[in-house]
Chains A and B, each alone.
Chain A
Amino acid sequence: MVEIRFHGRGGQGTVVASKILADAINKEGKFVQAYPEFGVERRGAPVYAFIRIDETPIFDKSRIYSPDHIVVLDPTLIEAIDVTEGLKEKGWIIVNTDKKPEELAFPTKYRVATIDATHIALKHQLGTRATPIVNTAIVGAVVKVLDLARLESVIQAVKEGVPLKPEENAAAAKEAYESVVFHS
């Protein structure tokens, strides 16, 4: 079982990112459960989404407290909250940033991957400079780093799962899949 927590800000499409990832994993024939933070979401406020992935049906309906990995859609959250809370040792921290992994000051017990999802999103005309839509690029990066699904599954899930610009979103996911920086 793999458990992942997503950190974003309200309005960034954090929950949609987890749903698209779930769709991609479903296409692989694996089992998946994804849920948002239980409660109300506000634009701009820190929000969470969670996902469980397994080879067999998932019966645990409790919430995730110590994720295997975390994903950060907005780098300003790193200063604002403790994104690593409960994160297991050796867990991946996948961050949307223009920095390299070694430039981020996370404890060495974690592994860090970085992806400039904002740059990729804007390049593919997803959102505006003020509110880039980074979620599909993030999914591409997550799938690559954690080896969760094939690229085709991700592209298909993105195309089916976004309300607008399916081709641009799929291209962003692909570019992120191919350019995410990590040392395994």
Chain B
Amino acid sequence: MRKVLMGNHALSYGAMLSRVQVVAAYPITPQTQVVELLSEMCAEKILDAQFIKVESEHSAMAACLGASLAGARTFTATSAQGLALMHELLHWASGGRLPVVLGNINRAMAPGWSIWTDQNDSLSQRDTGWMQFYCGSNQEVLDSVIQAFKVAEKLHIPAMIILDAFSLSHTYEIVDVPDQEKVDKFLPPFQPKFRLTPDEPHAFGGLTSPEHYFELRYKLQKDMEKAPALIEETGQEFEELFGRKLGLVDPYKCDDAEIILVTSGTTGYTARVAVDHFREKGLKVGNLRIRVLRPFPFEKVQSILSHAKKVAVIDRNISYGHHGIFYQEVKSALYGNSSVPVFGYITGLGGRDITLNTFQKIIEETQRNETPPERISWIGVKK
């Protein structure tokens, strides 16, 4: 059914249709409505789940770990400082191989105190062993939750669904809310490979000597390496049932493009409008929206970008002392594989709007220069 939903509610609907059994969360702007709606759904018995109220995000994730370890399908949502407070337990979730799904609203880290979007909160958690899905629309938010549960539970690896503050979280868009029976067909109940139950006592998370720790981490990486194929496969299965694509990347007019923009989140959708605008003027531009950052889609990125004459990576984030994080990732994927020059742009930090004008500056600068004139090109800083 076509419904007008805000991004936060698209997350809640995704969790509801996935038939989550436990939700533990702590409210934080701009995530609040996710939890509000889920708690209402639980109270009204639309959703047969246990809603656990907690006193912090750290406790929220701790409750999720316990529930997941008991074999429940578990969901939570947070943002920025809240995600940072969960940090220690994010490692527990992945190291413990607990397939929790978390919705994170991308919000800039304080200080200065901000409630507006950028990606530094989720990218600070890049190396915690979670899968990361960056969404471009509310439809994709809802669909990604369902897909993420399927992949996460198969691999026993947790997943983050990431959406921009306000540009998605509070923006109403038309979302096709799929039928429950169809979703049930796609996503069977969680069948954990191991769990804690009083019937068969086990210890979890005990002291792990150097004799065994290394192998556990090796196994996590090996399973993470299986994720790209599995994401593509579940994406195809999803498309057959629901008619919508959910791949690792979302290329737009890249086949014959001379300049390819690399984007993520809502920026990746506005970029399409910019591509069409410049195509009308005769410039062959394309856009590669990276949907999944972890696991990194090496093959896709390499095969799509190596055709281009120039690549322009747009980051709404920064690794201080280095560069934009998507820029680093793309460059490292292309190293030894292609010599296409990669231009790195940083823009939109702290919710500064990314408009057609932003893209115009980026495309023109990329077109004008053979190689990047500066290591980082800042777009929109009041200098």
Direct interface between A and B, CB < 8 A: yes
User: Could you tell me which A residues sit within 8 Å of B by CB distance?
Assistant: 18-19, 22-23, 26, 31-36, 38-40, 58-63, 65
User: Could you tell me which B residues sit within 8 Å of A by CB distance?
Assistant: 2-4, 115-116, 136, 164-168, 170-174, 266-267, 269-270, 272-273, 351, 353-356
Q: Is the CB of A39 within 8 A of B270?
A: no
Q: Is the CB of B166 within 8 A of A60?
A: no
> Which residue of B4, B116, B266, B354 is within 8 Å of A38 (Cβ)?
B116
Question: Which residues from A are CB-within-8-Å of B356?
Answer: 60, 62
Q: How many angstroms from the CA of A34 to the CA of B174 in the assembled complex?
A: 10
> Which residue of A22, A35, A36, A63 is within 8 Å of B355 (Cβ)?
A63
Q: How many angstroms from the CA of A143 to the CA of B168 in the assembled complex?
A: 25
Nearest Cβ in chain B — how far from A27, in angstroms? 9
Q: Is the CB of B2 within 8 A of A26?
A: yes
Q: Is the CB of B273 within 8 A of A59?
A: yes
Question: Which residues from B are CB-within-8-Å of A31?
Answer: 174
Given A33-B171, A33-B173, A38-B351 contact (CB < 8 Å): yes
> Which residue of B4, B115, B168, B273 is within 8 Å of A22 (Cβ)?
B4
Q: Is the CB of A32 within 8 A of B270?
A: no
Q: Is the CB of A19 within 8 A of B353?
A: no
Q: Is the CB of A35 within 8 A of B166?
A: yes
Question: Which residues from B are CB-within-8-Å of A23?
Answer: 4
A27 — nearest CB in chain B belongs to which residue?
A: B2
Nearest Cβ in chain A — how far from B22, in angstroms? 29
Given A23-B4, A35-B166, A39-B115, A60-B270 contact (CB < 8 Å): yes
Q: How many angstroms from the CA of A177 to the CA of B45 in the assembled complex?
A: 38
Given A60-B270, A61-B269, A38-B166 contact (CB < 8 Å): yes
Question: Which residues from B are CB-within-8-Å of A60?
Answer: 269-270, 273, 356
> Which residue of A33, A38, A40 is within 8 Å of B172 (Cβ)?
A33
Given A39-B115, A60-B273, A61-B269, A19-B166 contact (CB < 8 Å): no
B166 — nearest CB in chain A belongs to which residue?
A: A38
> Which residue of B174, B272, B273 is within 8 Å of A32 (Cβ)?
B174
Question: Which residues from A are CB-within-8-Å of B165?
Answer: 38
Question: Which residues from B are CB-within-8-Å of A38?
Answer: 116, 165-167, 170, 351
Q: Is the CB of B172 within 8 A of A62?
A: no
Question: Which residues from B are CB-within-8-Å of A62?
Answer: 270, 353-356
Nearest Cβ in chain B — how far from A171, in angstroms? 23
Q: How many angstroms from the CA of A60 to the CA of B173 in the assembled complex?
A: 12
Question: Which residues from A are CB-within-8-Å of B167?
Answer: 35, 38, 61
Given A22-B4, A40-B115, A63-B355, A35-B170 contact (CB < 8 Å): yes
Given A26-B4, A38-B166, A40-B115, A59-B269 contact (CB < 8 Å): yes
Question: Which residues from A are CB-within-8-Å of B174?
Answer: 26, 31-32
Q: How many angstroms from the CA of A62 to the CA of B173 in the assembled complex?
A: 14
Q: Is the CB of B172 within 8 A of A59?
A: no
Q: How many angstroms from the CA of A92 to the CA of B266 in the assembled complex?
A: 30
Question: Which residues from B are CB-within-8-Å of A19?
Answer: 4, 172
Question: Which residues from B are CB-within-8-Å of A34?
Answer: 4, 171-172
Q: How many angstroms from the CA of A35 to the CA of B353 in the assembled complex?
A: 14
Nearest Cβ in chain B — how far from A24, in angstroms? 9
B164 — nearest CB in chain A belongs to which residue?
A: A61
Q: How many angstroms from the CA of A39 to the CA of B168 in the assembled complex?
A: 13
Q: How many angstroms from the CA of A61 to the CA of B170 in the assembled complex?
A: 12
Q: How many angstroms from the CA of A83 to the CA of B52 in the assembled complex?
A: 45
Q: How many angstroms from the CA of A64 to the CA of B171 in the assembled complex?
A: 13
Question: Which residues from A are CB-within-8-Å of B354?
Answer: 61-62
15 A-B pairs whose Cβ atoms sit less than 8 Å apart in the complex: A26-B3, A32-B173, A32-B174, A33-B171, A33-B172, A35-B167, A38-B351, A39-B115, A39-B116, A59-B272, A61-B167, A61-B171, A62-B354, A63-B353, A65-B355
